[in-house]
Amino acid sequence: MSIKKRIVIIGAGFGGLNLARKVDKRLYDVVIVDRNNYHSFPPLFYQVASSGLEPSSISFPLRRELRGRKYRGCVFHLGKVTSVDTAAKKIHTSYETIDYDILVVAAGTTNNFFGIDDLRRHVYTIKSTVEAIRCRNELLDRLERASLCRESDERHRLLTFVVVGGGPAGVEIAGALGEMKRFIVKREYPLLDPSEIKVIIIEGSDALLRNMGERSSADALAGLKQLLVDVQLGRTVKDYDGRTLMFADGTALDTYNVIWTAGVSGVDIDFDGGAAIAGAGKRLPVDGFCRVRGLNDVYAIGDIALMADDAYPKGYPQVAQVALQQGEFLAAVLSDPETIMKPFSYRDKGSMATIGRNRAVVNMGNLHFSGRMAWLVWLFVHLASLLGMRNKVVVFIDWIWNYFTFSGGLRLLFRPRRYPDRTYWDE
Amino acid sequence: MSIKKRIVIIGAGFGGLNLARKVDKRLYDVVIVDRNNYHSFPPLFYQVASSGLEPSSISFPLRRELRGRKYRGCVFHLGKVTSVDTAAKKIHTSYETIDYDILVVAAGTTNNFFGIDDLRRHVYTIKSTVEAIRCRNELLDRLERASLCRESDERHRLLTFVVVGGGPAGVEIAGALGEMKRFIVKREYPLLDPSEIKVIIIEGSDALLRNMGERSSADALAGLKQLLVDVQLGRTVKDYDGRTLMFADGTALDTYNVIWTAGVSGVDIDFDGGAAIAGAGKRLPVDGFCRVRGLNDVYAIGDIALMADDAYPKGYPQVAQVALQQGEFLAAVLSDPETIMKPFSYRDKGSMATIGRNRAVVNMGNLHFSGRMAWLVWLFVHLASLLGMRNKVVVFIDWIWNYFTFSGGLRLLFRPRRYPDRTYWDE
């Protein structure tokens, strides 16, 4: 009789949870470590930021999920992983040290500010639930302050909303801001004139949704223009001091509101004192079996893993489908170590993005479609992917509600207070 | 043709909103000032604190409410009122100065720590939505930390939950904690033993729910005991340093978790430099027409108003019904200034409190009942009182859900981060 090995999974996102669910628990004990006590749903963060959905509707308590039969043999530990010692086979979290036999890094990505510290300090971001809540609060605060402000320059800065980055997250949040301008401000902020509100999206390349093909780019451009969003292509941000956004071409733009979606980077974990790995944007280079190159018994899956093949020489896209498929693949590899398998290969099931109500773009293989049909597909796919029946029901209600009332009902500014108790804060 | 007078209402709670809705807008412009951009529902704060309901389900965006036809002529200004100058007829908020012809103070109450600064610093409270969110986060954090803690004294302090105050809020949160211990910990926190968790309720007098009569007191006591809550009557808290709760009788109790429900005080607003008014616990003494004694054109309604009559020589209870009725009464007084009316008189429609699932106490006139029937009445009355159909539906779903799964699905620890931007914080 052999003693079970312990797999420690860092991160309970799509990849980590799928692996935990599917790996053979007769062979392994599984410890899931996450900095949050919930699984979150990144594709809808922008709807939290724009008051369309509640944070709780797209979050699912991990301990509740782990009650499920398929997770028997998995335990959850709260903690932010700070470093890994691959010689001693230990990880260090904000609270404790955990031994592993096999380590799987599925910690995802965070914002990349390309070393510009001023940006990090002053922009809003939507790469986590908490960041999205903060963005919602900031946007609502700005509308309230502008309502009370009679000084024209100040009012202008308060009401200029700039989204940096023309990928799906940027296009979706810009679309939501455009709808806010068009449908909500007139009815609910009588002291504001909708025409005072500027929504601008900045993209460094020459197209929105560049990775989704020309037709998607054209649809996104047309959709945002219809929502009176000012689309500025081929512009690169250089710096931002909280008041003035500076561009590489020397021009500038006055605004208090910059939403940064222009870069992602692997979550920062120190391996063996920092010497072991050097990956582009802190992603971990892995081989076709998710093994991190240069390390023993360490695997990586999902957004943080950099895996390339002939079809994707620069690495797979950082999307939920890759993480889910790699989680399943790695579960099979680990559950049946005797069988020699073929390396992982990504099956692209398609990509999609919304641009406001009734409007989305969908790519599935060679099929491209847009408009209301694409929007309905988008709604359905996202609803089906949400964890938990309660969340599906509440999201469905909120979407129906928002559709018929032309407004989200969640414009609630829950400002946290500063409490002295240090335990409460996420530093 | 006369120019309309301006009524400024401080506070968009039950009293303030009812007044705004019902006062004659042909005679008055109405400005509603609130420190939050939403109307909140204090009777259910404890369910937010105990992960049973979402904050958004019991909050309603004010600007959306004010779109209603009955509010035509009302505008909303965000701001915390800091002082009132009754000679100049101006109020000062955190953002601006507003002139009034008639001022109505409907700002409600906050926690009273009876001058003990250490208490204020270290306890958790549930007198606002944001306080309840914080309490939820702290409780969830404690369970996670205890799961990782092997040091027995530390674990004991982490898992001792003390509620101070045996009124409805105290009894309700203690009941919810008792249910957490009984139903949730065993299933979701495998590293904790439910018997390690202590839930204690401390009350200075000799009975729980003292204002609801002897039968309610007995029912509450029996209900909490059944949930294994340790009920300690006749004990008074003296101090708390964040680790040890000290009692007036010289005894002490080690705990990291004290939820304070033992005192309320009127929200702090400075009138004319502080000289004008001295009321018990900062409530504003008013006559039978809601006029604040000693001030001209200043009225007060709801929890912050101290109005007494023969039936209530010490003043009306601080409950939603009084606020609603005073709001309606004052609307009639102001809308028809020529008619001499009878002074306000409170019609007690009853009082109620829950003690966990299937268990509540209800007093209506001479009728007292308890148990499941009372619990259903409690559910129905609270559901009916919630603002907004979306909120009613979501609360109903969550209640049904919680009832059949024996657990709230919202144990989500959304830790806010410290951001440098000062505008975001509620200081």
* Residue A30 C-alpha, separation from nearest chain B C-alpha, in angstroms: 14
**Res. A303: pLDDT tops 70:** yes
Taking the Cβ of residue A29 and every Cβ of chain B, the question of whether any pair is shorter than 8 Å is answered with no
pLDDT (tens, 9 = 90+) of chain B, 427 residues, equals 568 999 999 999 999 999 999 999 999 999 999 999 999 999 999 999 999 999 999 999 999 999 999 999 999 999 999 999 999 999 999 999 999 999 999 999 999 999 898 998 899 999 999 999 989 999 999 999 999 999 999 999 999 999 999 999 999 999 999 999 998 998 999 999 999 999 999 999 999 999 899 999 999 999 999 999 999 999 999 999 999 999 999 999 999 999 999 989 988 898 988 765 655 568 999 999 999 999 999 999 999 999 999 999 999 999 999 999 999 999 999 999 888 789 999 999 999 999 988 899 999 888 999 999 999 999 999 999 998 888 899 899 889 888 888 776 678 888 776 554 444 444 3
- d(CA B335, CA B241) in angstroms, rounded, equals 51
- d(CA B174, CA B162) in angstroms, rounded, equals 8
* CB < 8 Å to B414, chain A: 55, 59, 129-130, 133
> What pLDDT is recorded for position B403?
86
Asked whether the whole model's pTM tops 0.95, one would answer: no
* Cβ-defined contact of A56 to B426 (cutoff 8 Å): no
Rounded to 5°, the CA angle A74-A77-A83 comes to: 115
> What pLDDT is recorded for position A333?
96
pLDDT > 90 fraction of chain A, expressed in percent and rounded: 78
Q: How far is CA A298 from CA A10, A75, A100, A135, A334, in A?
A: 11, 19, 10, 35, 12
* CB < 8 Å to B412, chain A: 37-38, 55-56, 59, 61
Taking the Cβ of residue A401 and every Cβ of chain B, the question of whether any pair is shorter than 8 Å is answered with yes
Q: How many residues does chain A have?
A: 427
> What pLDDT is recorded for position A110?
92
- d(CA A103, CA A33) in angstroms, rounded, equals 11
* CB < 8 Å to A134, chain B: 416-417, 419, 424
Q: Is A172 a catalytic site residue? A: yes
What is the token pair recorded at A92? 């260090």
* CB < 8 Å to B74, chain A: none
Chain A, 257-296: which have a CB under 8 Å from a chain B CB?
Answer: none
SS3 A340: coil
Taking the Cβ of residue A154 and every Cβ of chain B, the question of whether any pair is shorter than 8 Å is answered with no
- d(CA A208, CA A199) in angstroms, rounded, equals 15
Taking the Cβ of residue A408 and every Cβ of chain B, the question of whether any pair is shorter than 8 Å is answered with no
Chain B, 90-109: which have a CB under 8 Å from a chain A CB?
Answer: 95-96
* Cβ-defined contact of B415 to A130 (cutoff 8 Å): yes
Taking the Cβ of residue A187 and every Cβ of chain B, the question of whether any pair is shorter than 8 Å is answered with yes
Taking the Cβ of residue B396 and every Cβ of chain A, the question of whether any pair is shorter than 8 Å is answered with no
Chosen for mutation from A415, A418, A422, A427 (greatest number of chain B CBs closer than 10 Å) is A415
Taking the Cβ of residue B394 and every Cβ of chain A, the question of whether any pair is shorter than 8 Å is answered with yes
Rounded to 5°, the CA angle A365-A366-A367 comes to: 90
**Res. A352: pLDDT tops 80:** yes
* Cβ-defined contact of A54 to B59 (cutoff 8 Å): no
Interface confidence: ipTM more than 0.85: yes
> What pLDDT is recorded for position A426?
40
Taking the Cβ of residue A396 and every Cβ of chain B, the question of whether any pair is shorter than 8 Å is answered with no
* Cβ-defined contact of A416 to B412 (cutoff 8 Å): no
Chain B, 305-364: which have a CB under 8 Å from a chain A CB?
Answer: none
Read off the pLDDT of residues A185-226 as tens digits, 9 standing for 90 and up. Answer: 989 999 999 999 999 999 999 999 998 999 999 999 999 999
Chosen for mutation from B37, B117, B137 (greatest number of chain A CBs closer than 10 Å) is B37
Given 3-state DSSP classes, what are the helix, strand and coil percentages for chain B, each rounded to the nearest 5? 35, 25, 40
Taking the Cβ of residue A404 and every Cβ of chain B, the question of whether any pair is shorter than 8 Å is answered with no
* CB < 8 Å to B47, chain A: none
What does residue A45 show for φ and ψ, rounded to 5 degrees? -55, -40
Q: Do residues A379 and A358 lie in contact, with contact meaning Cβ atoms separated by under 8 Å?
A: no
| Catalytic-labelled residue, pool A131, A172, A203, A328 | A172
